[in-house]
Copies of this chain bind each other. A is one copy, B any other.
Amino acid sequence: MDRRSFIKKASVGAGAAGATALAAPAIAQEAPTINWRLTSSFPQSLDTIFGAAETMAEHLAAATDGKFNVDVYAAGEIVGGLEAKNAAADGTVEMAHTASYYYWGQDATFQLGTATPFVMNSRMQNAWFYQGGGTEMLNEFYHTQNVHGLPCGNTGAQMGGWFAKEINTVEDLAGLKMRIGGFAGNILAKLGVSPQQIAGGEIYSALERGTIDATEWVGPYDDQKLGFNQVAQYYYYPGWWEGGAALHTMINLDKWNELPAHYQAALTDACAYANTSMLASYDVLNPTALKQLVADGAILRPFSQDILTACHEAANEVYAEVNAANPTFKAIYDSQVAYARDAYLWAQLSEYTFDTYMMIQQRNSNIG
C-alpha cells in the first residue's frame, strides 16, 4: 500500500470515527510530502558536477520513501549559475547546488568553503569538514547569509589549465590574459596576469581568436568537452588554486530549520553519498579523458617550482590583506591552515610513499 492509498483509507476511517481519531496534522509532521526546487550552478553538460545534485536528490527521495522530493534545475533555468546561492538565500528556491567561492565578492569567507589556494587537498577538506569542525564553522558563517551548507561533491585537485605558449618563468606570466575566476585571479594579478571573466561557452572562441592566452577550467573529463586542446596545446598542472574544489548543497535557512529532524538527517546523508560519489565519478572518468587529450595533441607541463613559489607568495599577500580586513575569514582560514600543517606531515609517510611507489609501477607497466 502506498502512502496515498493509506491516507485515503485513513481519511475514510477518520470520517467514520470522527475527526479526533486520526490526527492528520501529526502524520504530516512525521513524514510530510515535500517538493523542493534546487537550482544548480552548472549546466547539464557537466554531468559529473551537475550529476552530484541529481544523485543527492535521488538518494534523498529513496531514503524518504518518495516523500522528500527535490527537482534539480540546471543553471539558467531558474536563475543564472552564479546566482544559485542567492536564489536559495532569498527564497526563490529552497536549495542550490553550487561552489561557495562564486560568492567571494559578497564576502571573501565564501571562498573558504570551496578551495583555499595552497592549503588543503580534497581528502583534507573532507577531514576538516567532517571531523575538524569545518562544516560547523562554515555554517556559522553561512547562517549569517541565510543558507545552511552541506558538503556535496568534490572535483579533486584541478588542472592548471590550457596555455597557448609555454610558461617557463614567473616573467612569462606578466601580461598574460587568462580566463580565471575571482579569488585566484586576484592572486595571479599580483604577478601581472590579467584575469578575465568569461562564461564556459565562450572560452573556446576567445582562445581561438587570441582574445585570451590561457584558461583554466576543471580537469580532463570536463575540459575535453570544450575542446581546449584544439586551440591551446599546453596543459599545465597543478591547479594550485584548487587543490580540491568542494561543492555544497545550500539550503534556505528557514526552510532548513522547518524540516523535520529526520529529513535533515536524510538530507545530510544523501549529500554525504553524493560528496563521495562525485569525486569517484571524476576519478573514474578523468584517466580516459586524459589519455585521449594527450593522443589529440595536448602537451602536459608541470608549473615550475619558481612559478609555484611566486604564486604561493602572491597568495599569502592576498591572505594577509583579507585576514586583516575580515575576522570571520581569518578564523576559518586559521583553522584550515592549522589542520593542513598537521595533515601534510602525516600524509607524507604511508600515503605518499605508497602512492609514489605505485606511480613508478604505473610508469613501468608493473601493476597487477
Contacts and interface: CB of A to CB of B under 8 A. Distances in A.
A265 to B, nearest CB: 4
A153 interface: no
Contacts of A64: 262
Nearest to A65: B262
Contact of A59 (B265, B312, B349): B265
B354 A340 contact: no
Contacts of A288: 342
Contact of A290 (B17, B237, B302, B346): B346
Contacts of A286: 346
Contacts of A290: 345-346, 349
Contacts of A312: 361, 366
Interface stretch (A18-26, A35-43, A72-80, A101-109): A18-26
Interface string A159-174: 1100000000000000
B349 A121 contact: no
A204 interface: no
Contact of A131 (B21, B284, B308): B284
A131 B48 CA distance: 11
Interface string A84-128: 000000000000000000000000000000000011010110111
Contact of A23 (B9, B30, B59): B9
Nearest to A287: B342
A270 interface: yes
A343 B287 contact: yes
A144 interface: no
Contacts of A63: 63, 262, 265-266, 269
Interface in A227-259: 237-240, 243
A349 B159 contact: yes
B6 A17 contact: no
7 contacts: A31-B65, A126-B280, A131-B280, A157-B351, A220-B346, A312-B366, A316-B368
Contact of A362 (B18, B344, B368): B344
